[in-house]
Amino acid sequence: MKLVVTVVGKDRVGIIAMVTRILADNNVNILSINQNIMDGFFNMILLAEAAESKIKLVDLQKVLREQGEEIGVEIKAQHQDIFNVMHNI
């Protein structure tokens, strides 16, 4: 299963490190990262493969959400298919 992880919030040191650490700890492989800073706001969209991961998606979402809240960013992880069906025929 491919995941789309979106991260938005006020920029600070260590956001990417934190997110990628959680993914690595759970054996989720990163396929691409698109990241920028706009007006001091951090935006990142990350595509990852979770086929080898043991963690359930709902549990991974919970970890990302809670850790994100601690450093003031909103993190969402969604199954890629919702974007595929909406934008590809």
Partner 1 sequence: MITVDDILETNRMITENKLDVRTITMGISLRDCAHPNMQQFCQNIYEKITTSAEFLVRTGEDIESEYGIPIINKRISVTPIAIAADACKTDSYVPVAETLDKAAKEVGVNFIGGFSALVEKGYTHGDRVLIDSIPQALATTDIVCSSVNLGSTKAGINMDCVREMGEVIKRTAELTRDKQALGCAKLVVFANAPGDNPFMAGAFHGVSEADKVVSVGVSGPGVVKHALEDLKGADFTQVAETIKKTAFKITRVGQLVAREASKRLGVPFGIIDLSLAPTPAVGDSVARILEEMGLEACGAPGTTAALALLNDAVKKGGLMASSHVGGLSGAFIPVSEDEGMIDAVAKGSLSMEKLEAMTCVCSVGLDMIAIEGDTSAATISGIIADEAAIGMINNKTTAVRVIPVPGKKVGDRVEFGGLLGYCPIVPVRSEYSSEAFIARGGRIPAPVRSLTN
Q: Which residues bind partner 1 (CB under 8 A)?
A: 4, 6, 34, 45, 57-58, 61, 76, 78-88
Q: Judge contact between 15 and 71, C-beta under 8 A.
A: yes
Smaller CB distance to partner 1: residue 13 or 54? Answer: 54
d(CA 39, CA 10): 9
Give the C-alpha separation, 48 to 5, whole Å. 8
Secondary structure letter of residue 28 according to DSSP: P
Whole-number Å distance between alpha carbons of 89 and 76 = 25
Nearest distance in Å: CB 18, partner 1: 20
Nearer to partner 1, 67 or 80 (CB): 80
Q: Least separation, in Å, of the C-beta of 37 and partner 1?
A: 15
CB nearer to partner 1: pick between 13 and 52:
52
Closest approach of partner 1 to the CB of residue 6, in Å: 6
